[in-house]
Amino acid sequence: MSLRALKELALGAVVFAALAVVPLLADNKPFLDFIIRLAIFGLFALSLNLLIGYTGLVSFGHGLFFGLGSYAFGLAMQSGKFSIPVAFALTLVVAAAVGLVVGTLCVRLTEIYFAFLTLAFQMFLYSLILSWVSITGGDQGLLGGIPKPEFLGVDLGRIQHLYLFSAFMLVVGVLLMRQIVQSPFGHALRMLRDNPDRASFLGLSVFHYRLAAFVVSGVFAAIGGILMSLYVSGAYPAFTYWTISGEGIFMIMLGGTSAFLGPLAGAAIFLLLNDIVTAVTEYHGLVLGTVILLFVLGLKRGLLDYITEFLAARRDGARAGRAGTR
């Protein structure tokens, strides 16, 4: 393991430890709720950015895996045959399998065609869930709650435990995705994003790399879906609706695509914005839309992108200034 990876692992452990002591200091339920939702949507947005930011494939159908994760996990738990870790692992296997099949069909296309094909598969799942009432409950969603039997002393029925579990999943997910991005595989993805022809001249199979990225990002999105189904104790067709994918893209754009943690920051901004706006006014689209417009027309890039560029410019400026006085 490289020094960088060790450093990041240590940093992740520190962040998790810090998050873990919060409930001991103060019983602040809104904060716990927020971190759980941040874990859900942060994992979703980060996984989507593996495709959009690192592979250059803009997916409009990433909600497919979010919904799939929540429904597969919910159904597995409702069957009563599995413990939570087993159902968790099973769901990831299902997500990977679906990702393999859908990805094989999708990644042959690029640009807008890829976007629309992924959208088509997501909406196909949505229609399937709506019409296959006997299994999915149709538009009512997966009702009756999701049983959460204790495992290893963890009782996810209690919000403190769900909080710790979500925070743990978020930290682990971030570390894993960071590893993937920094690995030779991640570098290869960026290369074929920037110049697929060149990558294939060098002997990389563009198809297989894209497919692998598709599957990996789908699996991480499914983890977000699983956490969501645990959080709301159910699964709803809206989890596979196109708006989920739209919100994911929105989060990525808010935070920025170039910084690794940009999408996570974007998810946090999005959730805060939503909470504040919903609390203040019933016309939440009007305010949210205006904020987006100001963002887009003012910054023309994500917030972390903007900050990174701003800091870089200031550093360069300072260096130039020093050089000037010498």
Partner 1 sequence: MDFDALGGCLTTASCVVTQLSAGLIIGMLLFLVASGVTLIFGVLGVINFAHGSFYMLGAYFAYTVYQLSESFILAALGGALGVMMFGVLFERLLLSRIYGANVLMQLLVCYAIVLILDDLAKILWGAEFVKMPMPAEFRVPPVRFGGGIVPVYYVVLTVVTVAIAVGVSWLMSGTRFGKTVRAAAQNKSMVAALGINTTALYVGVFALGSLLAGIAGGLAAPIRSLVPGMGVSILIESFIVTVIGGMGSIAGAFVAALLIGLTRAFGSIGFPLFTEGVMFLLMAFILLVKPSGLFGQREA
Binding positions for partner 1, rule: CB under 8 A: 52, 58, 105, 109-113, 116-117, 119-121, 123-124, 126-128, 130-131, 133, 138, 242, 246, 249-250, 252-253, 283-286, 288-290, 292-293, 295-297, 300-301
308 and 259 in contact (C-beta within 8 Å)?
Answer: yes
In the complex, minimum distance from the CB of residue 305 to partner 1, in angstroms, rounded to a whole number: 10
Nearer to partner 1, 229 or 245 (CB): 245
Nearer to partner 1, 44 or 126 (CB): 126
Nearer to partner 1, 116 or 310 (CB): 116
Nearer to partner 1, 86 or 293 (CB): 293
Q: What is the DSSP string of 92-159?
A: HHHHHHHHHHHHHHHTTS-HHHHHHHHHHHHHHHHHHHHH-HHHH-GGG-B-S------BTTB-TTSH
Nearer to partner 1, 113 or 151 (CB): 113
In the complex, minimum distance from the CB of residue 117 to partner 1, in angstroms, rounded to a whole number: 5
CA distance 166 to 32: 10
DSSP-derived 3-state class of residue 302: coil
In the complex, minimum distance from the CB of residue 260 to partner 1, in angstroms, rounded to a whole number: 17
Nearer to partner 1, 58 or 216 (CB): 58
CA distance 67 to 131: 15
In the complex, minimum distance from the CB of residue 198 to partner 1, in angstroms, rounded to a whole number: 20
Nearer to partner 1, 122 or 166 (CB): 122
Nearer to partner 1, 23 or 63 (CB): 63
Q: Which residue has the tokens 């065609």?
A: 113
76 and 133 in contact (C-beta within 8 Å)?
Answer: no
Q: What is the DSSP string of 163-176?
A: HHHHHHHHHHHHHH
Q: Which residues of 194-232 are buried (b: 16+ CB within 10 A; e: fewer)?
A: eebeebeeeebebeebbbbbbbbbbbbbbbbbbbbbbbb
Nearer to partner 1, 11 or 128 (CB): 128
Task: Please classify residue 299 by burial: count the beta carbons closer than 10 Å to its beta carbon, then call 0-12 exposed, 13-18 middle and 19+ buried.
Answer: middle
In the complex, minimum distance from the CB of residue 271 to partner 1, in angstroms, rounded to a whole number: 16
3-state secondary structure 230-296: HHHCCECHHHHCHHHHHHHHHHHHHHCCCCCCHHHHHHHHHHHHHHHHHHHCCCHHHHHHHHHHHHH
Partner residues linked to 33 by β-bridges:
none
In the complex, minimum distance from the CB of residue 270 to partner 1, in angstroms, rounded to a whole number: 12
Structure tokens of 86?
């087993």
In the complex, minimum distance from the CB of residue 121 to partner 1, in angstroms, rounded to a whole number: 7
CA distance 224 to 313: 36
In the complex, minimum distance from the CB of residue 278 to partner 1, in angstroms, rounded to a whole number: 13
In the complex, minimum distance from the CB of residue 139 to partner 1, in angstroms, rounded to a whole number: 9
